[in-house]
A = this chain, B = another copy of it.
């Protein structure tokens, strides 16, 4: 961990859109730091690109007109982006603006637009920090965490929203600003995936499997889950190939069920060949569509899952087996989603998210990928 102490002249910043509610006085009283405007705040869960250092977006500005518009728009949701920081304040507030009016029937407002905060203790345990939402509209959001006992605190980990685009993100302290931003160095795990990787239907940002995995294996993880538009596309694979990684996780199969067998094969092949060109030995995990293991009475969708998984296994047999020892398969069976692990038969609830995490964790521990700071 490298500490970058922030020295800011913070002049009791007065918020623009303070509601006339009970908390307006309290919110005026805080001293605020602006995420995205202050380059000393080390946002994490990011690709190594200069344009992203202080940004809550997930793809570099250079690909704005390269990737499909839907992918670009989703890349503006800060899923998996996090900030590690330390402060001695006993009250910390967060204020931001949600730019989108998102309604997902399988996800709560906290899951879609909320933040989530964990605390790492000096004894290395993760505990959770209870927050209170003052407002959680589709517009302004105000959150506070109070009564903080920092004597055993190593640092906080703040997760940004999974499924909304946010602006004007500020962190407020009820004392002069003493915020220290911390940075986890080393090559990250890079995940390219679907809505499941982006975080649907986690109950909160820290419960997406990508966030869970980051805490569980203690490594930086980059979340490139793009909802229904995580389709194993050339343009995104090209971005990923530019990134040095400890591990690439390719988990797009649930979004490929609409494609022909040949199209699925082509996309898998391009991904593997492109990553191998720049990274001959970096481990790559390809993941099966996990919902195939759910017990259902109506099996139409299950047959679609099975077909796409057959495509993946054929690709592995024809191209990987005996040729590339650094490619690994995470099977639907090893994830083991059951009837009570999804919100809607597609998107894992927190129960399913934990199963995804454990399946990846198991492979990662076998690979002995580890970062020592």
Contacts and interface: CB of A to CB of B under 8 A. Distances in A.
* Copies of this chain: 2
Contact of A127 (B106, B119, B297): B297
Given A109-B103, A133-B105, A340-B350, A298 B149 contact: yes
Given A107-B108, A108-B343, A128 B349 contact: no
A142 interface: no
Interface in A318-352: 339-345, 349-351
A110 B105 contact: yes
A207 interface: yes
A186 to B, nearest CB: 25
Nearest to A215: B340
Interface string A265-309: 000000000000000000000000000001111111100000000
B354 A130 contact: no
A350 B147 CA distance: 28
A147 B298 contact: yes
A104 B112 CA distance: 13
Contacts of A301: 130
A127 B212 CA distance: 28
Given A343-B203, A350-B349, A300 B146 contact: yes
6 contacts: A106-B108, A119-B297, A127-B339, A130-B301, A146-B300, A147-B299
